Amino acid sequence: MNIGEIARRAGVSRSTVSYVLSGKRTVSEATRQRIQAVIDELDYRPNASARALKEGRTRTLGLVIPPASQRLTDMQLGFVASVVEAAARHDLDVLLSPSGGDHDRSFERIVSGRRVDGVVLMEIRLEDDRVTRLARTGLPFVTIGRTAEAHGMSWVDIDYAGLIARCVHHLADLGHRHVALVNRSAELVAAGYGPSHRALAGFQAAVAERGLVGVDVCCGDDTASGEACVEQLLGTHPDVTAVATINEAALPGMQRALTSAGLSVPVDFSVTGVAAQHWAEDFRPPLTAADVPMRDMGAEAVSLLLEIIAAPDSVPRHRLYSPPISLRSSTGPVRTH
């Protein structure tokens, strides 16, 4: 039994039945009683969507992702999957919406169209107009990542600055004196992408603290870029004996470039960084890295969002993840000649 059948038997429109069920608009008492009589006769029980309508909720969360024209990285896909899984455990749907590029209208429909109860926003810039827009509308939201001034919002994030600094200290403890940071793309850095800037800050601080010679390079999120990046790095900075990276998608290319240069990992060259666990384990030899807990972070983002939806005036909360560096096999003592 559905709303259409009730409307047919009561001799009214579907929208009139919806108004009675939701209470959002006034319906004449005679019409309301006629509709209610049909509902009672048919023993109709509103489904979850109808109950949500009555509550003024959609039981749908928005997940704002990078532009659809760009191939999502494996880590980004992991965050998408984790949010969808966490929402499903609460019997909620997820509406994906790209933003940036030519997708501003899609984001605007999410924000102003009353299509979702709240939003999880990914890939945050230090200065992010999307965050400002959401805050202005009052629509509940949580970010994966954070802006430069994130005190008034709820977020989950990775401590890229602290983790990359720990990677550098690990390399310094192994005797490496010339180290490099392989960052994300130049376009992301120029756009103020938070993880890239925080990783660079952590790298520079640790290099200065340990008295090392450090060089930072940008790299596209793909195998070919990783290969070209490390080839150029080895050519322009031959003294570099180790790299730290947050660009997991470039790892296969980095590995290929080192092999082509005749460098054995970790005997001749050490590699470490921040990556999803399976990327680290697929590296040869397995990568010494801080493993990003994507599943936990997605679940935490959904949990925080549901708290805000239930209590819009609650104090913003956040969670900064700083997983341990898993010592695998890609780092070793600097080779002395």
| Edge-to-edge order in the sheet of strand 242-245 | 213-217, 178-182, 242-245, 270-275, 288-291, 325-326
pLDDT at 69 over 80: no
How much is the mean pLDDT over the chain?
90
The pLDDT value given to residue 237? 98
Position 53 scores a pLDDT of 45
For 169-180, give the DSSP string. HHHHHTT--EEE
Q: Does the pLDDT at position 48 exceed 50?
A: no
Going by their DSSP bridges, the two strands 318-321 and 178-182 should be labelled as: unpaired
pTM, 2 dp: 0.82
Q: Give the pLDDT of residue 49.
A: 46
Q: Nearest to residue 60, comparing CAs of 14, 110, 22?
A: 110
Closest to 94 measured CA to CA, from 60, 44, 64: 60
Q: Which residue has the tokens 């994300």?
A: 184
Query: pLDDT of 262-310, one tens digit each?
Result: 999 999 999 999 999 989 999 999 999 999 999 999 999 999 999 999 9
160-194, pLDDT tens digit by residue? 999 999 999 999 999 999 999 999 999 999 999 99
The CA distance from 143 to 130, in Å, is: 10
- For every residue of 13-69, DSSP letters joined together read -HHHHHHHHH--S---HHHHHHHHHHHHHHT----HHHHHHHTT--SEEEEEES-TT
Q: Range with the lowest mean pLDDT among 63-67, 246-250, 261-265?
A: 63-67
